[in-house]
Amino acid sequence: MRRTVRQASTGALETFLRASRLIRLRIEVDLRGADPERSRTPQQLAALLELSRGPATVGSLAESLGVSPPTMSSAVSTLEERGWVERMPDEVDRRRSSICLTGQGGRVLRDMRGAAEKGLMSVLEYLDDEELARLEDGLAVLEEALDRESAALSGTRAEDDGRTRVTSG
């Protein structure tokens, strides 16, 4: 009996989420082992990644990462104490500040990526050539689906009273 798209999607989603969780745990173990005195929360890591794209405000970081402004403010304060980010006053509005990644923060981010790669590579060593090829093919399919979704969402944007919104359909 052939599975429906929903059944197949649910199975794929469950597998993906389970694998993502195990990968994340593996990376967290590697990061803690590499530098136990400098533990990093998920919000801190996500903020560093976001700031690697350029300066941002605490509010914009909180919004883009889906956390509350007080949670992000606390994470940024910790990152600032460690010298990984710095606050730069806004030239127009002195009440606002932009958060910027420092050189040391960039090194931490590179170390984090290195630990993630090392952890993933150690897992991939348990796969044979055929399994690696299947994994690569599956990830390429997922990437293509994400690209198609992005294109579809971009194609359904409509102007409404000067605001861009996504229409259903």
- Give pLDDT tens digits for 24-56: 777 777 666 655 555 667 778 888 999 999 999
For the CA atoms of 159, 56, 60, 90, what is the dihedral angle to 10 degrees? Answer: -90
Q: Residue 40 is which amino acid? A: R
Tokens 């984090």 belong to residue: 112
* 30 found inside a domain: yes
b (16+ CB within 10 A) / e for 55-71: ebbbeebbeebebeeee
| Beta carbons within 8 Å of 64's beta carbon, 6+ residues apart | 50, 56
- How many domains, in total, are found in the chain? 1
* 148 found inside a domain: no
* 69 found inside a domain: yes
Of 25, 35, 22, 37, give the one whose Cα is nearest residue 111: 35
Walk along the chain (169 residues) and give the pLDDT tens digit of each residue: 566 667 767 777 888 888 888 877 777 776 666 555 556 677 788 889 999 999 999 999 998 888 899 989 998 999 999 999 999 988 888 788 899 999 999 998 888 888 778 878 888 999 999 999 999 998 899 889 888 888 888 776 444 334 444 444 4
Residue 18's domain comprises 5-142
CATH of residue 115's domain is 1.10.10.10
64 half-sphere exposure, CB direction, 13 A CA radius: 14
How confident is the model at residue 128, as a pLDDT?
95
* 153 found inside a domain: no
* 48 found inside a domain: yes
How confident is the model at residue 35, as a pLDDT?
57
Of 55, 103, 68, 60, give the one whose Cα is nearest residue 82: 103
| DSSP at 56 | B
How confident is the model at residue 1, as a pLDDT?
58
* 125 found inside a domain: yes
* d(C-alpha 133, C-alpha 113), whole Å: 23
How confident is the model at residue 164, as a pLDDT?
44
* 115 found inside a domain: yes
* 114 found inside a domain: yes
How confident is the model at residue 70, as a pLDDT?
93
How confident is the model at residue 32, as a pLDDT?
66
- Give pLDDT tens digits for 125-134: 999 999 999 9
